[in-house]
């Protein structure tokens, strides 16, 4: 079961929802961020954040503090706070000389990380004395553009994917604002910028998206070589990779400790499961059942008849059988947590935002939880 919303003909490059799920921020492939409020079954535009000078590349909405952080190709990031009925921007001192590509709040929302084309991760935190957001850089051993980020539940570790085909885990510990972190499956010493792990799936694909599991012991990422990979720190950093007939994915998120949803060029979100005991990763099902199959109206005999008569399958329509009509650019947890996800949201090049109900969409999904 899916709830579909259209925002025009422009691509939805990134989106984020508020903690109470009644507000939505998205970018339509330009320099503005549109704010919408849920009104019945529709989203009504309420505000426009137009501080960026070039295309917005990342948005994240802090669920507890209700702050929005955005980043863009203009090499800037802004933290937006809602005051007196308006969104007020605060400039972040990123100190980068290439476009920012992605941004994520930490779980405690006291800092955030920005990836960029300058081969570094900028970890930003608020400095009370000067009342601005300052940054520290993670540089080595990153050799190319950082394309995606995610935070460990401990608020310290950062998973990053980049165009040098590697997935890495770094320490984002800021001693000025937080206490010393406890040891975890990824290691014990976590001084800032320490590389905790580095993985390559042996292919030649850029890493498009990366996600920590609910426990933080695993990371999953998707590459442009049509691969889905999982690294398990709790099992001697075991690496499992699956490549199938699907097209490359652009987004991935865990929806339980053993299950994840990935989406991309196939225009159809897909559910994968990781079996720690067997060390295997497998495709369970597609969330979007094509209308043709769901209706059961086209029999095998009719297909052969059409092929015999017209040398075609009988379907000359350019419309896809899936809900999304073009590439899915992002998949995120919409309702619930990574440990117990109830709904996910996907946005795409077709200008659509679709909210998928994982509890009722397919029996196989429930079984995987």
DSSP sequence for 165-177: S-EEEEE---TTT
CA distances (Å), 354 to each of 254, 255, 343, in order? 18, 16, 10
Q: What is the CA radius of gyration of the chain?
A: 21
pLDDT at 365: 46
In this structure, the number of other CB atoms found within 10 A of the CB of residue 105 comes to: 22
pLDDT at 295: 43
What's the rounded mean pLDDT across residues 264-277?
96
For residue 365, give the 3-state DSSP assignment.
Answer: helix
More confident residue, 131 or 109: 109
Query: Which residue do the tokens 């980049």 mark?
Result: 162
In this structure, the number of other CB atoms found within 10 A of the CB of residue 42 comes to: 9
For residue 310, give the 3-state DSSP assignment.
Answer: helix
pLDDT at 369: 35
**Token pair of 113, please?**
């990380």
pTM (2 decimals)? 0.90
Residue 176 pLDDT greater than 60, yes or no: yes
Distance (Å, rounded) from C-alpha 184 to C-alpha 173? Answer: 14
Residue 100 pLDDT greater than 70, yes or no: yes
Residue 330 pLDDT greater than 70, yes or no: yes
Summarize pLDDT for 220-240 with one digit per residue, the tens: 999 999 999 999 999 999 999
pLDDT at 319: 81
List the one residue out of 80, 180, 192, 189 whose CA is nearest residue 135. 192
**Token pair of 333, please?**
């947890």
Summarize pLDDT for 10-56 with one digit per residue, the tens: 999 999 999 999 999 999 999 999 999 999 999 999 999 999 999 99
CA angle 173/239/252 to nearest 5° reads 70
Residue 360 pLDDT greater than 50, yes or no: no
Query: What φ, ψ does residue 30 adopt, rounded to 5°?
Result: -140, -165
List the one residue out of 54, 52, 15 whose CA is nearest residue 35. 15
pLDDT at 2: 87
Per the prediction, the chain carries an average pLDDT of: 91
Which residues contact residue 347 at a Cβ distance below 8 angstroms, ignoring those fewer than 6 apart? Answer: 12, 13, 14, 15, 26, 328, 329, 330, 353, 354
Residue 68 pLDDT greater than 90, yes or no: yes
CA angle 362/363/369 to nearest 5° reads 105
Residue 271 pLDDT greater than 70, yes or no: yes
List the one residue out of 337, 241, 328, 233 whose CA is nearest residue 283. 241
DSSP sequence for 209-262: EEEE-TTSSEEEEEETTTEEEEEEGGGTTEEEEEE-SSPPEEEEEESSSSEEEE
Burial bucket for residue 209 (CB in 10 Å: 0-12, 13-18, 19+): buried
More confident residue, 304 or 250: 250
What's the rounded mean pLDDT across residues 331-349?
96
DSSP state at residue 302? H
In this structure, the number of other CB atoms found within 10 A of the CB of residue 203 comes to: 15
Summarize pLDDT for 127-147 with one digit per residue, the tens: 988 889 999 999 999 999 999
């Amino acid at each position: 079961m899916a709830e579909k919303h259209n925002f025009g003909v422009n691509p939805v490059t990134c989106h984020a929802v508020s903690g109470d799920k009644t507000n939505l921020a998205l970018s339509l492939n330009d320099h503005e961020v549109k704010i919408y409020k849920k009104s019945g079954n529709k989203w009504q535009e309420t505000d426009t954040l137009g501080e960026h000078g070039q295309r917005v590349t990342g948005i994240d909405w802090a669920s507890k503090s209700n702050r929005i952080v955005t980043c863009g190709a203009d090499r800037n990031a802004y933290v937006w706070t809602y005051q007196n009925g308006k969104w007020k921007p605060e400039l972040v001192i990123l100190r980068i000389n290439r476009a920012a590509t992605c941004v994520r709040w930490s779980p405690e929302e006291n800092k955030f990380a920005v990836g960029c084309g300058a081969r570094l991760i900028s970890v930003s935190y608020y400095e009370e004395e000067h009342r601005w957001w300052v940054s520290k850089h993670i540089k080595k051993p990153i050799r190319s553009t950082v394309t995606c980020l995610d935070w460990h539940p401990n608020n310290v570790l950062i998973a990053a994917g980049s165009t040098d085909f590697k997935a890495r885990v770094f320490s984002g510990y800021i001693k000025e604002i937080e206490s010393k972190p406890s040891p975890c499956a990824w290691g014990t010493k976590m001084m800032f910028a320490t590389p905790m792990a580095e993985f390559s799936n042996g292919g030649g694909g850029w890493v498009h998206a990366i996600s920590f599991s609910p426990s933080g012991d695993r990371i999953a990422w998707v590459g442009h070589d049509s691969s889905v990979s999982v690294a398990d720190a709790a099992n001697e950093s075991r690496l499992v990779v699956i490549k199938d007939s699907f097209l490359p994915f652009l987004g991935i998120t865990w929806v339980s400790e053993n299950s994840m949803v990935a989406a991309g060029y196939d225009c159809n979100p897909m559910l994968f499961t990781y079996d720690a005991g067997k060390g295997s990763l497998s495709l369970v099902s597609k969330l979007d059942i094509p209308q043709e199959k769901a209706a059961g109206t086209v029999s095998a005999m009719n297909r052969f008849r059409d092929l015999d008569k017209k040398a075609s399958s009988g379907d000359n329509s350019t419309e896809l059988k899936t809900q999304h009509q073009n590439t899915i650019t992002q998949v995120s947890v919409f309702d619930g947590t990574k440990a117990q996800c109830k709904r996910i949201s996907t946005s795409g090049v077709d200008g659509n935002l679709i909210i998928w109900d994982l509890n009722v969409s397919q029996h196989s999904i429930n079984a995987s939880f």
